[in-house]
Amino acid sequence: MSKIIQTRAFQSISLLGDIAIDLGYDAMVIAVKPEVILNCKKVTGKTSFLHLQSVNLHLELTQSTPVIQSKISPLFRQLIDITHTLLLQHNLPYGLDITMPECELQNNSSATMAYLVALYRSIADIKKTKLSKDELLQFCHNFLLDRKIEHNLATLTAAINGGIVYFSKQSSHVETLNINDLIIYYLPQTKETAVKKAYKHIKTSKERYKDNLAQLGKLSALGIVALNKKDYLKFGEYINRTQKLLTDFGLVSETVHKLCIQAMLAGALGAKYCLDLNAVLLICDQKGVEIKSALMKLDLQVQDLPSV
């Protein structure tokens, strides 16, 4: 009987930089709990090529039928394609039984990168191959490029290392810092159509918006200095300035704007929209209880996000 190999990686959210991350400007992300945990086991002598199960998906594919027939999210379609491709690339003539027992993945690029990192760690372990973190980063980066899957090095580095990752065009590095009293509010509705259109327009016209994108990047550089000094008041200011730029871009709906205002009135040091998670990030500086109490009236799902 094959032993179960457990590997993990981290999903993350943008602290500063936001859309600038995807367009090559400086940015800062933070890994958050819960991690993506994979329990992976070789499957031989069965028709099942891939058995992938998580909180929000149970799926089986045969080796001869990699085409997905059932209606599933684009995220899981992508994860299945990644798994299928990796097994073929590494000449593994058997299937994998993969379970994610406690993880409901958010539908974004951070989840894709975390899954890829954890899966490749599993395959390396199965093949008894030792990998440094730098080698793992390079492999995953090249794999995503080859598959034309959108990603950024800050989020990929966070998936591998955890912690806070500051990324610039020159380098990326992991900071062993903790930010207490981070709160995230997931918005109950999907991204508004106007926000989606604005984001698509910016991506296709980034030269036109390069000055504002550069400003987002500069706020990330300032933010890492503030965190090193544990100046949460200044860090909150940078979050609020980021929110203002995102609003100018047309990426903040009226509903989100009002939520951020209410959070600030309740004592938050900073509040901004996170496009990747369709959520609002708050930095509270020990006033989390009061802020949660004020915002619970809005009937939103709330989750504390300790840094990893």
Q: How far, in Å, are 2, 16, 63, 200 from residue 48 at the CA level?
A: 15, 43, 7, 39
- Radius of gyration over every alpha carbon of the chain, rounded to an integer in angstroms: 20
pLDDT band for position 48 (cuts 50, 70, 90): very low
Collect contacts of 120-127 with beta carbons under 8 A, ≥24 apart.
Answer: 120/86, 121/7, 121/8, 121/9, 122/5, 122/7, 122/38, 122/40, 122/96, 122/98, 123/86, 123/87, 123/90, 123/92, 125/5, 125/7, 126/5, 126/40, 126/42, 126/92, 127/90
The mean per-residue pLDDT over the stretch 38-56 comes to: 60
In tens, the pLDDT along 6-15 reads 888 988 888 8
pTM surpassing 0.85? no
In tens, the pLDDT along 105-122 reads 665 778 888 889 988 898
Nearest CA to 86 out of 56, 62, 122, 52 is that of 122
Please check whether residues 60 and 156 belong to one and the same domain: yes
For residue 151, the domain's CATH number is: 3.30.230.10
In whole angstroms, give the CA distance from residue 9 to residue 35.
6
Check residue 93 and give its pLDDT: 62
Check residue 281 and give its pLDDT: 84
Looking only at the bridges linking them, the beta strands covering 95-100 and 48-54 are: parallel
pLDDT band for position 197 (cuts 50, 70, 90): confident
Calculate what percentage of the chain has a pLDDT beyond 90. Answer: 13
Check residue 267 and give its pLDDT: 87
Q: How many CB atoms are closer than 10 A to CB 44?
A: 8
The mean per-residue pLDDT over the stretch 281-295 comes to: 77
Range of the domain at 163: 5-175
Q: How many CB atoms are closer than 10 A to CB 5?
A: 17
Please check whether residues 268 and 187 belong to one and the same domain: yes
Please check whether residues 21 and 36 belong to one and the same domain: yes
Please check whether residues 220 and 298 belong to one and the same domain: yes
Straight-line distance from the first to the last Cα atom of the chain, in angstroms, rounded to the nearest whole number = 34
Nearest CA to 174 out of 304, 307, 8, 285 is that of 307
pLDDT band for position 47 (cuts 50, 70, 90): very low
- Of the three residues 175, 203, 219, the one that is the final residue of a domain is 175
For residue 210, the domain's CATH number is: 3.30.70.890
Please check whether residues 165 and 196 belong to one and the same domain: no
Specify whether the CB–CB gap between 29 and 14 falls below 8 A: yes
pLDDT for 236 beyond 80: yes
Please check whether residues 142 and 273 belong to one and the same domain: no
Of 29-38, 47-56, 157-166, 168-177, the range with the lowest mean pLDDT is 47-56
The mean per-residue pLDDT over the stretch 163-177 comes to: 74
Domains contained in the chain, number: 2
Across 64-73, 144-153, 167-176, which has the greatest mean pLDDT?
Answer: 144-153
Please check whether residues 60 and 108 belong to one and the same domain: yes
Please check whether residues 169 and 75 belong to one and the same domain: yes
pLDDT band for position 63 (cuts 50, 70, 90): low
